[in-house]
Each structure stands twice: as C-alpha cells, then as structure tokens.
Structure 1
Amino acid sequence: MNLMYLTFQEDAPLYLGVKNKIEGQISAFEKLGYQVTCSMWQDNRFCFFGADSFQRPLDPAKRLMKQMTSIANEYIGGHPFDVLYLRLDRVSSDMIQICKTARANHVKTIAVEIPNYPYLADYMRNVKYAKTLGTKVKTAAKVAVTAADDRLSGRKLKQYVDAVVLYGNKADSFFGVKAMNGDNGINIDRIEPIPHCADTSKDIAILGVAGTLWWQGYDRILQGMSTYKKSRSDGPALKFVLVGGDKTEMPEFRALVEKLGLSEDVTFCGFKKGKELSDIYKTVDVGASSLGCYRRGLTRCSSLKAREYCAAALPFLYAYDDAKLKEDTPFALRLPNDESPVNMDRVVEFVQHCRKDPSIAKEEREFAEKNYDWKTIMKQVLEFAGASMK
C-alpha cells in the first residue's frame, strides 16, 4: 500500500522539531506496512522523497506556496496512492483542488492534519505586530483574504476528506468533517534515558528547546529566575539553558536576560541535535515545555518537547491541557497558562522531590513507552480515517 505524506514544510534548522515530528510519523506509517512518499522544500527546491523521488526548482521572486501547490497537484495526479495525508496550516482553494485531484486518481483515504488549531489567530497577530500604519493596512488586507479563502474553501472539505486530526484545542468536527484530537509522539528507541540525579544540594538547570521563542513563553522563566535570585539566598542556584532560538527573536530575548541581570545564569547553545542534544540533556535537571499557549489562544496542546523530555526521563514543566497528563502526574509540573512569572519556589520543590525518589524517573520512561510511541498514535489516526490496515 502506498501513502503520500504531503507537507509544505521548509527543511531548515529553525524547524528541526517539526521535521523530527514528520520523520517520526513517516517511520510509523512504514512500520504499519505503507510505502511512504514525503514532500518538503529546501534551498528553493520542492522535493518529493520516496519510491519515485522528484524535485523541481522554485522561483523565489514568485509566490512559493502557489508554486508548490501546483507542483503537488501535478505529482499526485500522476502517481497512484492509497492514502493521502496532508499536513496543512490552513484550508485553501489550492488544497481543495489537490484533494479533488487525489480522488480523481482513485486515492481511497484522505486525512488532513492541522498542527495548530485554531489557527486564524496566528494570522491576525501579524497585524498587531506590524510596525507602521502602512504595513498594518497591507497586512490586514492579506489576513482578510486568507481568512475568506479558508472559510469558503472549508465548506468543500467534506466532499473530499475522510477525517481531520487537530493539534490544539479540542473539537469533534472541522468544517463538517469528523475530527480527532491528535497527540504528538516520538521514536522511543532513539532517546536514551538520562542518569538520575540524587544530589538535592546541586544547582538546578532548566532546559528550553525551541525554534520560535514567542509562544514558548521562556521569558516567564527569566522573570521567575530574577525574582527568585533577588529573594532567595539559601536555596540552590538556578540556571537556564536555551537550545535553538529564532535569530530574529534572539536580540530581544538576550536583551531581557541582560535587563534582568541573568547573564551569568543563562547559556545559549544554538541549534543542536543527535548526540550533541543528548549530551546537553545529561547536564540539566528539568525541561520546559510550552509555557505561552495563551499567546496563540490555545488551552490544549500536545507538545513534542514534553514527549521527548518524558522519554529521556527528564521531569518537565508545562502550561496547558494535555489529555495524557493528570494534575498529580509526579514527573510533570503544571503552571498557569498566562503571563505570570514562573514560581521558582514551586520548581525547586518539584525538582527536589524528583531527585529524592528515583522511581519517578523509571515511571516517566515507562509512561512514554506506553503512551507516546508514534506507531501507536498513527495507527489510531489511520483507523479513525478508515484507511486499510495490513
């Protein structure tokens, strides 16, 4: 059986986490018996990887998305697939055309993944952050056209799509198509558990791994560290280790570090992966998952970082609803989903508790193995969409 995983994701260091997710899903589909073809764009080329590899140059002077959807439509019309799995930021008339072409070419099952739902707020915030009046007007016009295309195209979705997978806020349907709330997963075997630290007097290092910083809310950690540093002299020192960070946001983030007097307490590692990232995991005590979902209007999240922390048996912080996590989960500390600085006294107490009880790390790893493996998750998605299974 053949499966087309269609995505318009850029293959770039900034999106390493997203790429890891896509590769994990592809690996799961292959383990489930599918021969998979996947698309991505890189270096002004739209590429298809799989049994029939293919690439076509993109003209950077023209609308990239328009070029890629045209190429994808042509490719899907000329290649046989049993399943089409689309990862989309939003609905558009071009996407509807691709689904229509797929059906005409006898694709049996079409499933759509929406990675950030609801998503229109993301487009609207572009207006808020436009710097000049002229830019605001132009941006507002583009957002209006985008929203209109999404709403109008969405009405046609149920003619072609069998199921939608939503990552974000909970919903049972999407433009009349049955929907399930997706969970992010990981390849458990690729992540090695870190050694358990039992030294309660040791300083505490907090790890943040992210490309885009704005909605991760790591500035809340900095604010909390600043308050803790000023008010506590008897507790363990706090450190923050940042892996990644969009270069356009880094100046502002670094300026906040300087303003709060945390220059000696924050380490910037740049983008890391593989063994380099694993080695950093071994030097920290707690991971920070997304702490700024409220900035995108989200209350529910399925953070890939949290899954990776969990597989590594690294306790973590989060600030959103997660279907798999309970309030009393011993290896995860839930924080408010708002602008408030992180209460570092709670974080210290949480880390100390995890250090004193080595069974928590064992429980965390077993939890990840049971709940977060991509094969289990994608099997549920295919069954929900009604795809044939070997």
Structure 2
Amino acid sequence: MKTNISIAYIDFGDRFDPNGTSGIERKKLSQIHELEKLGHVKRLAFYPKRKKNFLVNISRLLPYFPSTFPFVYNEKQLAGIDVVYFRKPSYIDRYTIRLLKDIKKLNPEGLILFEIPTYPYDKEKAGLGKYPLLMKDRWNRRKLHKYVNRIVLIAAKDKEVFKIPTITISNGIDFSRTRLREIPKSSSDDVHGIIVGNFEFWHGLDRIIKGMKAYYKKSKSVRKFILHIVGPTNNVLRIDQETEELIALGLIRLYGGLTFTELEKVYNVVSLSFEAFGLHRRFPGQISSSVKSREYGAKGLPIISACKIDYIPEDYPYFLKVSEDESPIDIESMIKFHDYVYSVEAQIVAAEIRDFAEKKCSSEVMMSPIISFCTDYYYS
C-alpha cells in the first residue's frame, strides 16, 4: 500500500498570472491544491517560447510538426510518479502521444488521468484553416488508450471515450480566493450586466448586442441597460455604426483583458451576469460547466444564459434561461428578471447565490471523484 503518492500536474498553453483574468489558471491552481491532499504535486507547465507568426502557423498544419507548439522535457522530471493529471492541449499530436508513452515507460504502474475540458470538441475546431489540425488530432487520439487509465470529462455523461473509461467531474473554484461582490450604493435604476470570456462565436455575444440595438431603437429615453464586456473580442465583435454609438454612449463598455483585481472592480458595479448565448452553434443542447459560471455564483450574481448550467436547476429563482436559437436577446425581459430578483435586499440575494454555489461547485466538490479514484487505487 502506498504511503506517499507522487503526483505530476501537466498542462499546456500561455503562461497566466494567477491575478489575471484567466479563470482557467485559477481553476488549475485549485485542482493542484486539492491534489496535494494525496501527496506531493509538481507542476510541469509547457508554454510557447516564441510568438506565433505566419511560418509557425503554416508549419502547425503539416503532418510531422507540432499542432500546438514545440516543447521539451527531461525524463528525470517524469520518473517516480504515481499519478499524472494531464490536461489536454489544444490538439493531440504525435508529441502529446510521445510524452504519454515516455511517462508510461518510466512509471508502468502509475495512473495517467487525461482531462478533456470540452467533449465532444470536434465542432469547436471547425473551419478550413483548422481542419488539418483536427485530422492530426483524430489520428493521434486513437492511441491514447495505450497509455491513459481514465479520461476526465467535465459535465459529460459518456462512460467511455476513445476506448478509455471516464471519470466525470464538474468545474469548481476556490471560494476562499473569490470574495463576494460589494453591493453598489446607488439610487440609479440603471441595470448593469457583465459577460466575461475569451470570446469565440459560441459565446453568442452578437445576440445580446443585437438585442441592445433593438431595445434602444424603440426610444432613447428607455431605462438604461449597460453591458460590461471583459476579455478579448477581436474574433467575434464587428463594430458597425450602431455598435459604435452604443460604445460612445457608455452603454457597451469594452475592457479587454483585466487582472483579477481590476475585474473585481467591474463585478462591484454590476447586478446581472451572462453565461453564453451561442453554445448550440457548437453542439445543440450542450450543458455549460464553465469556470466563469462558478465565479458569477461566488460573486453572488444572478445568471442569464441560453444554455443550461450543470449546477443550476432551471427553476432556480436566480437563473433565467433564454431561447437557444439565433434570435436577439430580449433586453426588456432581462430587466424584468432583474427587478423580480431584486424585489428583496440585494445583499440577501448575493449571499444566497454564493451559499448555493459554494455547496455545488467548490474546488473540493470538483476534485472529489478524482481524489476518491486515486485513493481507492492506491489504498484499498
């Protein structure tokens, strides 16, 4: 029976400041914190050494070149490991498989848990420019079963993926690091809402902006609804004349990426939050398990979304589900929802939302199936 488990946490991607906007980085840190309950954890984070350019982007499409970025490792880093928690890179390529093969060779009795944050993911890799990368992924992921003991899925029900049994978890965050928002002291009846993300077409940002255009076309004297957008929008936001006017009037506020400290200041002026309005574009009926939905809950914010959220029942009084289609979001219905929610004191609303979220999606709840599986494997 093992008495001291050695764990490696392996992830790929840009380096993030824990104080940055990235909820993903904060999720990783909370996962590592929970894994430390099993034993010593070392993190092997692989990240690009240079910026992408035209030649790099072209080379990624070729069969024998890395699909993400080149990375190197020392076999000494991989030896003597009992559990590997391996977060899937953007694409599974021959270099991903080689790393897994080397880990298994050095630790034949060790566990390899392979997290796929979004599954199925083929549709989000759609597009002519991404097709060669997807083909390489499809070719290489067939080999995962040789080395991986369990696939870790987020809010999915598949019992087996790529011939490998699964463990299902839900996303979670460390509530001790995310404070309840401050309730704004204002006599204004303006309604402020926030949407946070590294925006892609499936966030459906266009739907809420179309809704705002329709809302303000009716009259310039309607009750103000202000949308705060935090995160890069270059891929999705087309700024036409109407959008430009809404920005100029301060009705749409674009922040780009913010540090977590800066983001908290925005949270302190809003009273609604928005999940996603276009997940059906990627996979109809998809249920969200996003990190931001957890942070919204921790901040004590009611959530509006076109998709279901895994930890929130549809009849939850602080959740409004809108249509899962391409129609503009009805701003008036959101304002009515806002007024219904805040018919009681805002501080009570915020506290109730946070308390509910903490019971459902803390980092401890998130990693409980992983901790149980590893404990049973090594201690039973």
Q: Bin the TM-score by the shorter chain.
A: 0.7 to 0.9
Change (3 A) 1:271 1:102: same
In structure 2, what is the Cα distance between the partners aligned to 1:16 and 1:302? 15
Which string of whole-angstrom CA distances, capped at 9 and with x for unpartnered residues, describes residues 290-348 of structure 1? 22212222512211111101001011212223331111112221222222111112211
Q: Evaluate the alpha carbon distance shift between residue 34 and residue 349 of structure 1 in structure 2; reply closer, same or farther with a 3 A threshold.
A: farther
Determine whether 1:111 maps to 2:113: yes
1:82 alignment counterpart: 82
Sort the Cα spacing of 1:287 and 1:195 in 2 relative to 1 into closer, same or farther, 3 A: same
In structure 1, how many angstroms separate the alpha carbons of the residues matched to 2:103 and 2:68? 18
| C-alpha contact 1:312 1:365 (8 A) present in aligned 2 | yes
Q: Any idea what SS the aligned residue of 2:117 has?
A: strand
Query: For 2:277, which of 291, 294, 306 is the aligned residue?
Result: 291
Cα RMSD for the two superposed structures: 3.2
Residue 253 (structure 1) aligned with residue 257 (structure 2): no
Q: Please tell me whether the aligned partners of residues 111 and 161 of structure 1 are also in contact (alpha carbons under 8 angstroms).
A: yes
User: Where do 1:116-155 residues align within 5 Å?
Assistant: 116-124=118-126, 126-127=127-128, 139=129, 143=131, 145-155=132-142
The question of whether the paired residues in 2 share the 8 Å contact of 1:4 and 1:84 is answered with yes
| Aligned residue among 362, 374, 381 for 2:370 | 381
In structure 2, list runs of 5 or more residues that go unmatched. Answer: none
Distance 1:387 1:92 in 2: 29
Aligned to 1:117, what secondary structure does the other structure show? Answer: coil
Task: State the Cα distance separating 1:43 from its structure 2 match.
Answer: 4.4
Name the CA distance, whole Å, in 2 between partners of 1:239 and 1:198: 17
1:4 aligns to 2:8 (yes or no):
yes
CA separation of 1:291 and 1:16: change in aligned 2, threshold 3 A = same
Equivalent pair of 1:15/1:211 in contact (CA under 8 Å): no
Shift of 1:90: 4.2
Map residues 234-313 of structure 1 onto 2, 5 A cutoff: 236-246=223-233, 248-249=234-235, 252-255=237-240, 258=243, 261=246, 263-264=248-249, 265-297=251-283, 299-313=286-300
Contact 2:11–2:87 (CA under 8 A) maintained in structure 1: yes
Structure 2 Cα separation of the partners of residues 219 and 66 of structure 1: 30
Contact 1:333 / 1:350 at 8 angstroms: preserved in 2?
yes
| 2:278–2:306 contact (8 Å) kept in structure 1 | yes
Q: Any idea what SS the aligned residue of 1:80 has?
A: coil
> How far does residue 78 in structure 1 lie from its aligned partner after superposition?
4.5
* 1:44 corresponding residue in structure 2: 50
Which consecutive unaligned segments of at least 5 residues does structure 1 have?
46-58, 128-138
Counterpart CA distance in 2 for 1:200 and 1:171 is 50
Instruction: After TM superposition, give the deviation of residue 86 of structure 1 in Å.
Output: 1.3
The 3-state SS of whatever aligns with 1:215 is helix
Contact 1:77–1:102 (Cα < 8 Å) also in 2: no
1:82-231, aligned counterparts within 5 Å?
Answer: 82-88=82-88, 89-106=90-107, 108-124=110-126, 126-127=127-128, 139=129, 143=131, 145-167=132-154, 170-196=157-183, 202-231=189-218
Equivalent position of 1:25 in the other structure: 31
Asked if 2 retains the 8 angstrom alpha-carbon contact of 1:318 and 1:334, the reply is yes
Give me the TM-score of the superposition, normalised by structure 1.
0.81
Provide closer, same or farther for how the CA distance between residues 389 and 328 of structure 1 changes in structure 2, counting only shifts above 3 A: farther
Q: Report how far residue 149 of structure 1 moved.
A: 3.7
In structure 2, the partner of 1:34 is 40
Q: Which amino acid aligns with 1:266?
A: I
Which amino acid in structure 2 is aligned with residue 281 of structure 1?
Y
Cα deviation, residue 15, structure 1 = 7.6
Aligned to 1:130: none
1:343 corresponds to 2:330: yes
CA contact (8 A) 1:92 1:150 kept: yes
- Preserved CA contact (<8 Å) 1:3 1:82: yes
Partner of 1:368: 357
CA spacing shift, 1:234–1:260, aligned 2, 3 Å = closer
Tell me which residue corresponds to 1:71: 72
Q: Take 1:200 and 1:183, find their aligned partners in 2: how far apart are those partners?
A: 39
For the residue of structure 2 that corresponds to 1:3, the secondary structure is: strand
CA pair 178-15 structure 1, distance change in 2 beyond 3 A: farther
Give the direction of change, closer, same or farther, for the CA distance of 1:261–1:284 in structure 2 (3 Å limit): closer
Contact 2:180/2:299 (<8 A) preserved: yes
* Counterpart contact for 1:167–1:301, Cα < 8 Å: no
Contact 2:67 2:133 (8 Å CA) reproduced: no
